[in-house]
Chain A
Amino acid sequence: GAGVSQTPSNKVTEKGKYVELRCDPISGHTALYWYRQSLGQGPEFLIYFQGTGAADDSGLPNDRFFAVRPEGSVSTLKIQRTERGDSAVYLCASSLGDSGSPLHFGNGTRLTVT
């Protein structure tokens, strides 16, 4: 079946602009995660949804970052007033939502802030 789909695959924006990154999880997966991966590092947790609600947003770095999942499927990560330090690969993952269920990742969106 189809895996996790992320769009766009690449996004270049100017400092100060607003961006939206989209994630379409595996059908039937109730849990959805956003991670951020900087060059040479492992993924860092941003936010986790169980259904429509954000169950854990402790990884969001500041209030410029926000994510929604209004119908419990597709999610959008929104970044306001982008900064050069926001440049990274943003990874989305989904899982069945049970404790220990493995996460299945998309190919990520590479965000470059110039």
Chain B
Amino acid sequence: GEDVEQSLFLSVREGDSSVINCTYTDSSSTYLYWYKQEPGAGLQLLTYIFSNMDMKQDQRLTVLLNKKDKHLSLRIADTQTGDSAIYFCAETTLNDYKLSFGAGTTVTVRA
């Protein structure tokens, strides 16, 4: 949605790190999420972070949150061909239950 913005495309070489960026406008955003969508499939939850955290690491995934700049990033280490997909950033606020999504970043992994 208009409250969450992402760059549309990212191309990365296999084995390199990918960094997908997201900015949001609502300073009261409390929960921020990353979802992955492969062709013809629904959204798969990758990871999420609460606004009282600056960083969260989960295996090859690292999420960084800069609350001052309202900027969220997802780093994928050692990117593989199976990481090719559309990645969505989403946010919600305390006491709100619906997520607002960005338009998605299409990640293409090249050999």
- The residues of A with any CB-CB pair to B shorter than 8 Å are 4, 6, 31, 33, 40-45, 48, 50, 55-56, 59, 91, 93, 95, 97, 99-100, 102-108
- What is the distance, in angstroms, from B48's C-beta to the closest C-beta of chain A? 5
User: Once the chains bind, are B43 and A43 in contact (CB under 8 Å)?
Assistant: yes
A81 CB to nearest chain B CB (Å): 26
Q: How far is the CB of A112 from chain B (nearest CB, A)?
A: 14
Of residues 55 through 109 on chain B, the ones whose CB sits less than 8 Å from some CB of chain A are 88, 90, 92, 94-104
A50 and chain B: residue at smallest CB distance: B97
Q: What is the size, in residues, of chain B's interface with A at 8 Å between Cβ atoms? A: 28
Centre residue among B41, B42, B95, B100 by max chain A CB count within 10 A: B42
Closest chain B residue, CB of each to CB of A43? B101
Total of A-B residue pairs, C-beta within 8 Å? 67
B100 touches which of A33, A45, A93 (Cβ 8 Å): A45
Contact of B99 among A45, A55, A97, A108 (CB under 8 A): A45
Known: A42-B1, A42-B104. A103 touches B99 (CB 8 A): yes
Kindly report which residue of chain A lies nearest to residue B50, judged by CB atoms.
Answer: A100
Q: Given A105-B42, A105-B43, do A56 and B103 touch, yes or no (CB 8 Å)?
A: no
Question: Which residues of A are found within 8 Å of B35, using beta-carbon distances?
Answer: 105
15 contacting pairs across A/B (C-beta < 8 A): A4-B42, A42-B103, A42-B104, A43-B43, A43-B99, A48-B98, A50-B97, A93-B43, A95-B97, A99-B95, A100-B48, A105-B35, A107-B41, A108-B41, A108-B42
Contact B102 A42 (CB under 8 A): yes
Instruction: Verify A45–B43 contact, CB threshold 8 A.
Output: no
- Whether the pair B42, A102 counts as a contact (CB closer than 8 A) is no
B53 at the interface (CB under 8 A from A): no
A33 to B31, CA, bound (A): 17
B44, B90, B99, B102: which has the most chain A beta carbons within 10 Å? Answer: B99
A70 to chain B, nearest CB (A): 20
Identify the 10 closest CB pairs spanning chains A and B, nearest first. A42-B101, A105-B42, A105-B43, A107-B42, A100-B31, A45-B98, A42-B103, A43-B101, A102-B45, A106-B42
